[in-house]
Chain A
Amino acid sequence: MKKIIIAVIVMAIVGYSGRVDKEILDELDVATAVGFDYKGKNKIETTAVVPVINPDKSISNKTLSSIDNLSKESLVNLNRKSPKPVVNGKIEVALYSKKLAEVGLQDYIDYIHRDPSIGTRLLLAVVDGNVKKLLGESFKEYDTGTYIQRQINNNIKNGLIPKNNFHLFLSSYYTRGMDPVLPIIELKDKKINVKGLALFKGTQMVGSLPYRYMFVFKALHETIKNAGYKLRTKEKGKTEYISIQGLQTKKKFHVRNMHTTPEITLHLKIKGYIREYTGEKVTAKTAVKAEKLMKDKVHKEAVSMIKDFQRSNIDPLSFGDQVRSRTRNWDGKKWEQQYKNMKVNVKVDVMILEIGVVDGL
Chain B
Amino acid sequence: MKVSVKEQFLISPYLAFFVVHSMQIGVGVLGFQRYVAIYTEQDSWITVLVGGAAVHLVIWMMYKMLNKEQGDILSIHETTFGKWIGGIFTFFFMIYLMAMGITVLRTFIEVLQVWMFPLMKTWTFTLVYLIAVYYIIAGGFRSVVGVCFLGVVVPFYLIFTFLAPLEFANLRNLLPVFDHSIKEIALSFKTMTLSYLGFELLLVYYPFFKKPETSQKWFHYGHLFTVFLYLYLMLITLVYYTPDHLKRTIWATLAMWKIIRFPFVERFEYIGIASWAVVILPNVCLAFWAASRMAKRLFNVTQKKALIVVLVITVIVNPLFKERTEIDLLNSIVSQVGLYFIYGYIPLLFFLHYLMSKVRKKV
Residues of chain A at the chain B interface (Cβ within 8 Å): 10, 13-14, 17-18, 20-21, 89-90, 116-117, 119-121, 163, 165, 167-168, 170-171, 173-176, 321-322, 325-330
Name the A residues within 8 Å of B114 (CB-CB): 116
Residues of chain B at the chain A interface (Cβ within 8 Å): 114-115, 117, 119-121, 123-125, 127-128, 131, 168, 170, 172-173, 175-176, 178-179, 241-245, 248, 255, 258-259, 261, 266-267, 269
Question: If the complex has contacts A18-B121, A119-B267, A120-B259, are A175 and B244 also in contact, measured as CB distance less than 8 A?
Answer: yes
Minimum C-beta distance from A5 to chain B (A):
14
User: Would you call A328 and B244 a contact (CB within 8 A)?
Assistant: no
Minimum C-beta distance from B107 to chain A (A):
16
Main secondary structure of the interface of A (DSSP, over half): loop
Minimum C-beta distance from A336 to chain B (A):
16
User: Would you call A14 and B128 a contact (CB within 8 A)?
Assistant: yes
Instruction: Give CA–CA (A14, B127) in the complex, Å.
Output: 8
User: Would you call B115 and A116 a contact (CB within 8 A)?
Assistant: yes
User: Would you call B172 and A322 a contact (CB within 8 A)?
Assistant: yes
Instruction: Give CA–CA (A208, B125) in the complex, Å.
Output: 52
A-B contact count (CB 8 A): 76
Instruction: Give CA–CA (A238, B241) in the complex, Å.
Output: 53
User: Would you call B168 and A171 a contact (CB within 8 A)?
Assistant: yes
Instruction: Give CA–CA (A120, B241) in the complex, Å.
Output: 12
User: Would you call B179 and A328 a contact (CB within 8 A)?
Assistant: yes
User: Would you call A171 and B245 a contact (CB within 8 A)?
Assistant: yes
Name the B residues within 8 Å of A14 (CB-CB): 124, 127-128
Instruction: Give CA–CA (A350, B94) in the complex, Å.
Output: 72
Name the B residues within 8 Å of A165 (CB-CB): 168
User: Would you call B245 and A119 a contact (CB within 8 A)?
Assistant: no
Question: If the complex has contacts A14-B128, A90-B266, A168-B168, are A327 and B176 also in contact, measured as CB distance less than 8 A?
Answer: yes
Instruction: Give CA–CA (A140, B114) in the complex, Å.
Output: 37
Name the B residues within 8 Å of A17 (CB-CB): 121, 124
User: Would you call A170 and B176 a contact (CB within 8 A)?
Assistant: no
User: Would you call B266 and A119 a contact (CB within 8 A)?
Assistant: yes
| New A-B contacts (15) at CB < 8 Å, excluding given A116-B258, A165-B168 | A18-B123, A18-B125, A18-B127, A116-B269, A119-B266, A167-B258, A168-B168, A171-B170, A173-B245, A175-B245, A176-B242, A176-B244, A325-B175, A326-B176, A328-B176
**Could you pull out 16 A-B pairs where Cβ atoms are within 8 angstroms?**
A14-B127, A18-B128, A116-B115, A119-B259, A120-B255, A171-B170, A171-B242, A171-B245, A174-B243, A174-B244, A176-B242, A325-B172, A325-B173, A325-B175, A327-B176, A328-B178
Question: If the complex has contacts A10-B131, A14-B128, A175-B242, are A167 and B176 also in contact, measured as CB distance less than 8 A?
Answer: no
Q: Which residue from A121, A174, A326 sits with its C-beta under 8 Å from B245?
A: A174
Name the B residues within 8 Å of A171 (CB-CB): 168, 170, 241-242, 245
Instruction: Give CA–CA (A17, B127) in the complex, Å.
Output: 12
Q: Which of A116, A117, A168 has the most CB of B within 10 A?
A: A116
Instruction: Give CA–CA (A90, B124) in the complex, Å.
Output: 29
Name the A residues within 8 Å of B120 (CB-CB): 20
Instruction: Give CA–CA (A109, B78) in the complex, Å.
Output: 59
User: Would you call B115 and A170 a contact (CB within 8 A)?
Assistant: no
Minimum C-beta distance from A13 to chain B (A):
8
Instruction: Give CA–CA (A119, B119) in the complex, Å.
Output: 21
Name the A residues within 8 Å of B244 (CB-CB): 174-176
Name the B residues within 8 Å of A170 (CB-CB): 245
Minimum C-beta distance from A119 to chain B (A):
5
Name the B residues within 8 Å of A18 (CB-CB): 121, 123-125, 127-128
Q: Which residue from B121, B168, B258 sits with its C-beta under 8 Å from A119?
A: B258
In this complex, what residue of B is CB-closest to A171? Answer: B242
Minimum C-beta distance from A51 to chain B (A):
14
Instruction: Give CA–CA (A329, B245) in the complex, Å.
Output: 19
Instruction: Give CA–CA (A17, B120) in the complex, Å.
Output: 10
Question: If the complex has contacts A89-B266, A89-B267, A119-B267, are A167 and B124 also in contact, measured as CB distance less than 8 A?
Answer: no
Question: If the complex has contacts A10-B131, A21-B119, A119-B259, are A326 and B241 also in contact, measured as CB distance less than 8 A?
Answer: no
Name the B residues within 8 Å of A175 (CB-CB): 242, 244-245
Minimum C-beta distance from B83 to chain A (A):
38
Instruction: Give CA–CA (A328, B241) in the complex, Å.
Output: 20
Instruction: Give CA–CA (A17, B175) in the complex, Å.
Output: 53
Name the A residues within 8 Å of B261 (CB-CB): 119, 121
Instruction: Give CA–CA (A331, B267) in the complex, Å.
Output: 39
Name the A residues within 8 Å of B172 (CB-CB): 321-322, 325
Minimum C-beta distance from A314 to chain B (A):
17
Q: Which residue from A13, A90, A120 sits with its C-beta under 8 Å from B258?
A: A120
In this complex, what residue of A is CB-closest to B251? Answer: A116
> Which 8 A-B residue pairs are closest in the complex by CB-CB distance?
A18-B124, A325-B175, A174-B245, A174-B244, A325-B172, A175-B242, A120-B258, A20-B117
Instruction: Give CA–CA (A18, B123) in the complex, Å.
Output: 8
Minimum C-beta distance from B134 to chain A (A):
11
In this complex, what residue of B is CB-closest to A20? Answer: B117
In this complex, what residue of B is CB-closest to A21? Answer: B119
Name the A residues within 8 Å of B259 (CB-CB): 119-121, 167
Instruction: Give CA–CA (A90, B265) in the complex, Å.
Output: 11
Name the A residues within 8 Å of B241 (CB-CB): 171, 174
